[in-house]
Structure 1
Amino acid sequence: MFSIFKTKPILKDLIPEGFIDIHSHVLHGLDDGAKTLRDTVYLIESMKDFGFEKIMTTPHTTPLVWENTKEGIISKLEEVKSEIPELAKSVSLNAASEYLMDESFLRRLENEKILALKDNVVLVEMSYMNPPIHLYDILFKLVSLGYQPVLAHPERYNFYANDFNAFKKLKKAGCLFQLNLLSVTGYYGSGIAHIADELLKNDMYDFAGSDIHHDNHINGFSNKLKIKNVKTFEKVLENNIKFFG
């Protein structure tokens, strides 16, 4: 007897052919992602098995925590490419950075060229505790300098959980939104899955990213989706291919 209820799909089964990931932490020794070259290899091979065709890895640039520089990230990228040339080439491994928006980021914008995802498109994040005091000054500065900010995982900022208008304000300020793939499985909690579903329902996501750091994240791709707006989610995955391809 067949169930009248549809079974929710498994996340890894929805990764489209040619998927381009724009957010991960697979370069070892730079942040809270991969620790060793062995970790890097495992993560990339797993992502390749999921169907990822290109990987744009994005080490954190977080003052006083991960003091990464554009030069340091590029140097590590080249080191990894030389150590695993065939694997790196097979996924078109490249790098940008995930920048924490704070007061020091304003100074960074004035003094250096940002390591972007593509052209002028830059990946940014906020503290999970609270938004920066000068958030909209930072966004205004970014846009005025010709950058296009992409806000990483907006669904994970719990201080906006009961204030949907805050998301609308961010979009109005020029932010594109990047969904974390694991958010739709409930990996970070049911509340975050709910926010992701609401943002999908309102067509507010522009791109998606794996935000893969370690093997627990890899294992999470075998979980079922816990959202209703699956078709919209699939469209967001396709946006990565269209824009970054």
Structure 2
Amino acid sequence: MLFFKKKPILKELVSSGYVDIHSHVLPGIDDGSKDVETSEVLLNEMGNIGFSKVITTPHTLPGVWDNSRGDIENAFTELNSVKGALCSKYELRVASEYFLDNVFLTKILDKGNLLTLKDNYLLVELSYLNPPIGLKDIIFAVQMGGYQPVLAHPERYLYYHRDKGMYDELKAAGCMFQLNLLSSVGYYGKGVSEIADYLLESDMIDYTGSDIHHIRHVKSFGSKVVIKSIKPLQEAMERNSFFGS
């Protein structure tokens, strides 16, 4: 574990062997990488930062990115067929980032066959505009389906900034939290960084992820960390090793 008297550059916190559990580097399947060449650039840049294993998580959002398990696996097969050495180098695996709403329950969860981060760990996200009605009931249904929900970037849902008690309720309901690393450098704005600090200080963050979509995200790992909770951030990053096997 590293300790800094001054605020470090984010990439300095990425130790060799880091396992990333949230990215969008499969080609042409969502708002991330557009083609194989871009995927190659992103993965190599992530490797230069220190990532050793990448679990990429394209969106599954009906009506926007109607990705099925087969669609995602086919995109990986396409990339692996032309960049097999690259995929092996970063031990690339696929999961998905599932949009939680009632459509998810009726059209996706009921079908099962979901792509998880590992075992039953399911990466999920919410709308940036407002949470779905009956969110805790949806979380319960996910758990009853045999999955452990891991909520992506809880610090980015601005409607919870005004009611921090909702974070406690989501944790009590059984959600695990995955922080975006770029929240630590102010990439998404000051308010998001402040909530990231709050969640880290409150020991609510379980894991971290890059959420890399494009080269601007990669370059931002060269920015200075603005949050105070560096040690809890490092500890959360280290817990990602759970997904390495």
Q: For 1:26 and 1:58, how far apart are their aligned partners in 2?
A: 8
Q: Deviations over 1:166-211 (max 9, x none)?
A: 0000001110000000000000001100000000001100000000
Counting only pairs closer than 5 Å after superposition, residues 200-239 of structure 1 correspond to structure 2 as 200-239=200-239
Q: For 1:85 and 1:111, how far apart are their aligned partners in 2?
A: 31
Q: For 1:212 and 1:26, how far apart are their aligned partners in 2?
A: 7
Secondary structure of residue in 2 paired with 1:24: coil
Q: Report the equivalent of 1:133.
A: 133
Q: Deviations over 1:72-93 (max 9, x none)?
A: 1011111111110111100000
Between 1:53-62 and 1:136-145, the stretch displaced more is: 136-145
Q: Report the equivalent of 1:168.
A: 168
**Alignment pair present for 1:20 and 2:19:** yes
Please report how far the alpha carbon of residue 243 of structure 1 lies from its aligned counterpart in structure 2 after TM superposition: 4.5
Secondary structure of residue in 1 paired with 2:113: coil
Contact 2:197/2:227 (<8 A) preserved: yes
Q: For 1:201 and 1:99, how far apart are their aligned partners in 2?
A: 27
| Stretches of 4+ aligned residues off by more than 3 angstroms | 242-245
Q: Report the equivalent of 2:35.
A: 36
Counting only pairs closer than 5 Å after superposition, residues 62-101 of structure 1 correspond to structure 2 as 62-101=61-100
Q: For 2:179 and 2:112, how far apart are their aligned partners in 1?
A: 27
Q: For 1:60 and 1:243, how far apart are their aligned partners in 2?
A: 19
Q: For 2:38 and 2:243, how far apart are their aligned partners in 1?
A: 29
Tell me the TM-score normalized by structure 2: 0.96
Q: For 1:111 and 1:72, how far apart are their aligned partners in 2?
A: 15
Tell me the TM-score normalized by structure 1: 0.96
Secondary structure of residue in 2 paired with 1:151: strand
Secondary structure of residue in 2 paired with 1:203: coil
**Alignment pair present for 1:120 and 2:131:** no
Q: For 1:62 and 1:54, how far apart are their aligned partners in 2?
A: 25
- Structure 2: any 5+ residue segments left out of the alignment? none
Q: Report the equivalent of 1:50.
A: 49
Please report how far the alpha carbon of residue 134 of structure 1 lies from its aligned counterpart in structure 2 after TM superposition: 2.4
Contact 2:19/2:243 (<8 A) preserved: no
Please report how far the alpha carbon of residue 20 of structure 1 lies from its aligned counterpart in structure 2 after TM superposition: 0.4
- Structure 1: any 5+ residue segments left out of the alignment? none
Instruction: Give the RMSD, CA atoms, in angstroms.
Output: 1.1
Secondary structure of residue in 1 paired with 2:222: coil
Please report how far the alpha carbon of residue 103 of structure 1 lies from its aligned counterpart in structure 2 after TM superposition: 1.1
Identity among equivalent pairs (%):
50
Secondary structure of residue in 2 paired with 1:149: strand
Secondary structure of residue in 2 paired with 1:241: helix
Secondary structure of residue in 1 paired with 2:115: coil
Instruction: Output the amino acid matched with 1:75.
Output: N
